[in-house]
Amino acid sequence: MGKYLLKFNGRKVGAIGVFGDFKLIVNADNEKEAILKAYDTHEHLTRLTVSPMKEHKDMIDKMQAERKTICEYCGKEKEGLSFMIGASRAPAWVMVEGTGKMSCPDCWADAMAEGRAAINKHIADYNVSIKNV
């Protein structure tokens, strides 16, 4: 099982007439399964590209070796390793608190939401664990 990045034009299932460009990350065993998963939520896919995403640790190594910052959501790159740590109130290059993943300004909103969800889950799991002691 790995993560795949899909980019395509299409529309969300049931969104009649509203087409747009989408970036979607899915967990799948291979590219074929990744595409099938995209059809669970989207339809009429055109200009589809599928690429396997590197694991987080590999991405950090690649950023350090190549001296550039790479978005772990869309693959966008910028020269040099510079970013905000933890959080930013506005779209920026951020290593997101909760996931530790790098996000570019375009993916910032989704990345911050994922980080907050990870933190909330951690707190909820901890509260359950101390309740059961």
Q: Which residues are at the interface with Zn ion (CB under 5 A)?
A: 71, 73-74, 76, 104, 106-107
What's the closest the beta carbon of residue 77 comes to Zn ion, in angstroms? 10
What's the closest the beta carbon of residue 23 comes to Zn ion, in angstroms? 8
Residues 6+ apart with CB under 8 A from 8: 21, 22, 24, 38, 42, 45, 46, 47, 48, 49
What's the closest the beta carbon of residue 58 comes to Zn ion, in angstroms? 17
Considering beta carbons, is residue 38 or 96 the nearer one to Zn ion? 96
The DSSP bridge partners found for residue 51 are 5
Report the relative pairing of strands 42-52 and 68-70 from DSSP bridges.
unpaired
Tokens matching residue 98: 């909760």
Considering beta carbons, is residue 4 or 73 the nearer one to Zn ion? 73
Label residue 115 exposed, middle or buried (CB < 10 Å: 0-12, 13-18, 19+). Answer: buried
Considering beta carbons, is residue 71 or 94 the nearer one to Zn ion? 71
What's the closest the beta carbon of residue 53 comes to Zn ion, in angstroms? 12
Considering beta carbons, is residue 34 or 111 the nearer one to Zn ion? 111
